[in-house]
Structure 1
Amino acid sequence: MDLAPPPAPPAPAAWMRLANPAVFNALADRLLLPLAVLTLAAFAFGLHGAFFASPADYQQGETVRIMYIHVPAAWLAMFAYAGMAVSALGTLVFRHPLADVAQKAAAPLGAGFTLICLLTGAIWGRPMWGTWWEWDARLTSVLILFLVYLGIMALWRAIDEPGRAARAVAILTLVGAANLPIIKFSVDWWYTLHQPAAVFRIDGPTIHPSMLVPLLVMGLAFLLLHLVLMLLRMKTELALRRIERLQIVAAERGGAG
């Protein structure tokens, strides 16, 4: 009786192939230059539209132009954390080797975007509300997001063993993700000084197209910048881990010798 050869093992999914650092680095190298060019183009077009082409607001005057930095920073603060929550699931559920690398790379970026959001919000709020800060539901929940980012970064440094650190950070990240819907819907659930959503609404944006277009372009520019910095930070983290492994191997060989 003829014996058929055993079936070939299924090809690994694309996201699993990226577990190989060489594969990821090769992909990142191909993406970095076009992403960087697109980032510069988006910022050039968006900043021109924000500060030269779009009109001043009839109530807020020229101060409305802070919106083109503040709002995209707020979007990216939440987007970065949502990506970290997905990475946390990748660490705890799928054990993907790059999940904790992505999460560690994203935390300082998300913290930076959140800080920009808080600072520009204070500058924008001073002439509009008459105060730099108010314990408003939206402002307070974004401040909590910033503190969670700092806590995650501190936890990475507090635990020396990478596997334990990745699991602990993943758990904290998923717990902190409960704050994201609070940030999003705080202006609907409570009375706040902060204005309601004006772009992502079921009944459509309430911003005039002359302001909406540059705002969306600036949002795209911030997103592209985040992707470029993420790839660079992930490549750096992989290189640092490789160096650390080589140092450990060299020390073990030296001790054995």
Structure 2
Amino acid sequence: MIENTKNNIGIWARLGAWLTHMANPTRFMRFADRTIPYLAGLSLSLFAIGLYLGFTAPQDYQQGATVQIMFVHVPSAWLAMMCFSVMAVSGIGTLVWRHPLADVSLRAAAPIGLAFTFLALVTGSLWGKPMWGAWWVWDARLTSVFILFLIYIGIIALSRAIEEPTTAARSLSVITLVGWIIIPIIKFSVKWWNTLHQPASVSKLGAPSMDAVFLYPLLTMALAFTVLFFCLHFMNMRNEILRRRLRVLKIKSGQLGKGSAV
């Protein structure tokens, strides 16, 4: 037990050292330039495998061919929540550790999370129509995901509305941390309320209740979506760093006021 504790401390120490090392934007840019092509290639490969496994999987005895929507809907919902959690950690990095790239990470993740949430809502409607007989119901799970969608929109709008960088970074961090309360609500909504949405069948304790012929394609697609997120996140962070550098150059050349945005 003591040995495991030491190993865990060592892992967190190395992670902290790596994050400190990446605090330099130029160093991060070099890391992103090297990493993005590999992430893109890995993501495409996983998507190809996952889609092949998904489309060749047999039809479900209850849902028929519509069960294949699950291979996109469930990973996109997972990533919508994971992305917001990344933003919350970035918010802590801004408020507590003053990490130079924390605000960059938060801003870069927001539009990606919005896209994943939108995809989860759309595919959920497509899946729900034949199952529930309606495109939309004000179910606890669906409503909480829709609230997450609105929170994403609010954060993106606020990031563009506040011109002063320091004020914007702190405001976005606080709102993100407050808004994170929606994540456990989404996660446990099917347990706390009577909902039409099915309960967890993969992440529950014990063996998943899903047959392996559906579980493996789902996990492959989830991994593909996860790698895609990190690829897009690094790309957006790189673009945000370049945008800020351009803003500084414009300020120095007198094209912008000190507090104005690009």
Give the TM-score, by structure 2 length.
0.90
Residue 36, structure 1, aligned to residue 40, structure 2: yes
Deviation at 1:14, TM superposition (A): 2.2
- Aligned residue number for residue 81 of structure 1: 84
Residue 57, structure 1, aligned to residue 60, structure 2: yes
- Aligned residue number for residue 215 of structure 1: 218
Deviation at 1:29, TM superposition (A): 1.2
Q: Deviations over 1:43-89 (max 9, x none)?
A: 0000000112x111000000010000000000000000000000000
RMSD: 1.0
- Aligned residue number for residue 7 of structure 1: none
- Aligned residue number for residue 231 of structure 1: 234
Residue 198, structure 1, aligned to residue 201, structure 2: yes
- Aligned residue number for residue 23 of structure 2: 19
- Aligned residue number for residue 113 of structure 1: 116
CA distance in 1, matches of 2:161, 2:40: 34
Deviation at 1:158, TM superposition (A): 1.0
- Aligned residue number for residue 93 of structure 1: 96
Please point out which of 184, 191, 197 is paired with 1:181: 184
Question: 1:86 is aligned with what amino acid?
Answer: V
3-state DSSP of counterpart to 1:96: coil
3-state DSSP of counterpart to 2:69: helix
Please point out which of 45, 49, 62 is paired with 2:49: 45
Residue 164, structure 1, aligned to residue 167, structure 2: yes
| Number of residue pairs the alignment of both structures matches | 240
**Runs of 4+ with deviation above 6 angstroms:** none
Aligned-pair identity (%): 54
Q: Deviations over 1:14-51 (max 9, x none)?
A: 21121111100111111111111111110000000011
Question: 1:212 is aligned with what amino acid?
Answer: L
CA distance in 1, matches of 2:165, 2:115: 24
Q: Which runs of 5+ in 2 are unaligned?
A: 1-15, 256-262
- Aligned residue number for residue 138 of structure 1: 141
